[in-house]
Chain A
Amino acid sequence: MSIDVVLQVLVGGILVGGLYALVAFGLSLIYGVVRILNFAHGTILAVTGVAASLIFARWQLSPVLIFILLVPSVFLLGAVFYRGLLHPLERRSPLEATIGTVLVTVGALLILSDVTAVLAGPTQRNIMLRSPVIEVGNIVISVTQLAILAAIVVMTLVIHAILKATWFGLAVRAVTQEPIAAELCGARSLQVKTLTFGVGSATVAIAAVLYVLTFPVDPYMGFGLTVKAFTIIVVGGIGNLPGALIVGVLLGVAEGLVGLFWGPEWSPAISVILLLLILVAFPAGIRWRRG
């Protein structure tokens, strides 16, 4: 096997890993603020990705337009989902609230996949753009892939800037650390939580549009993706953006290499096995020193 093949796989791994990291940001943001693990999180990518490919197939809209159309819609749906179905559970006892949120999000996961499969068919689909190709030695990179890579970097920087510099970001960090004190200081927690749920979901929608440009999506791929995002935030640390990006890329590359050397059917097992191994090795979770 030539080194070029490995390098080619590395490029793909970095690309898909960056998208995993975007999905994980959303999950981590929501978990940090709302303290809910959304089991349907990855399914948002599956559904949005299928929707994007359908819109493209039907009307040939430019991916940028699809992006502008879908991301705000998913933001709204996320916010409404939280307000209508999850927020009311906060009034219950802790155990009932946990059970309730697990059931609501798992129920949403089943409904979203099934409805999408019935409407769009359970097949894999993606958006095929004809784009020029750049060759570096024997490695082939399409302009689309470069654009996706650029978009991932830009999105990471934008999210970072939002968290660091805006009122919303400040409120998010405050609520993550000390919900009651944040509320006393004037960050209305319901508002912040609803916004966060919307933003976290929209992050996945952004990843979805980028994902479907190079990789195929299907209605049932969502949960596997949620598991990956979960692994990334356990390893990278809740609310740690650079950590999530690094771990996401490493996971993507590891999956690519395992697929190459061992067979692609083994790739989906990597994240769960990694998760279990990490839990054995680091009982208290991995602590990252803040620089």
Chain B
Amino acid sequence: MHVHRFEKLWIGLSLLLIAGFIGIVLFGFTVMDLKVPGIEEGRQVDPTTVLSDEEFSRPGVRKISDDHYEVYMIAQQFIFRPGSTQPLTLPANTRITFHMTAPDVMHGFEVPGSGLNATIIPGQIATFSTRFPEAKSYGIICHQYCGAAHHNMQGKINVVPPSEFDESNLISQ
């Protein structure tokens, strides 16, 4: 098949570009530790009974070690628990693992300025880990359409210095 030499050159450059993009993503994974939901396998739950589930019946922050906390969070029409009525308080510079699910419809979990982004799907537990680099307050936005008051579904995360983190509000294991 006849292919013009300029076009051959162009196809070669295109393939280089594509390889470059794949490389950038892999670089992000390996060197910069940019992860996405799906790396840590969350389990499945029955959405109709999840509110009486062992962990999700008491959503909140649990301590695993001095450098690792877990957050069990429920997203439901139209609040985050915890997060909406009470801000979620977390220590900075500490590994935080989120476990999130929904009992009703799909929701979104977006924390502008942090790169945290997950779809919350009834029946699935979204599990992902992060570290908040500095003490700062963040908003939580539901960015997956979830019904009539979707635009009111929001919450707050207060990230405090580890020394100021009050452990009296933790959920006991």
Judge: A and B partners, yes or no. no
Which B positions have Cβ atoms within 8 angstroms of A? none
Q: Residues of A with Cβ closer than 8 Å to B?
A: none
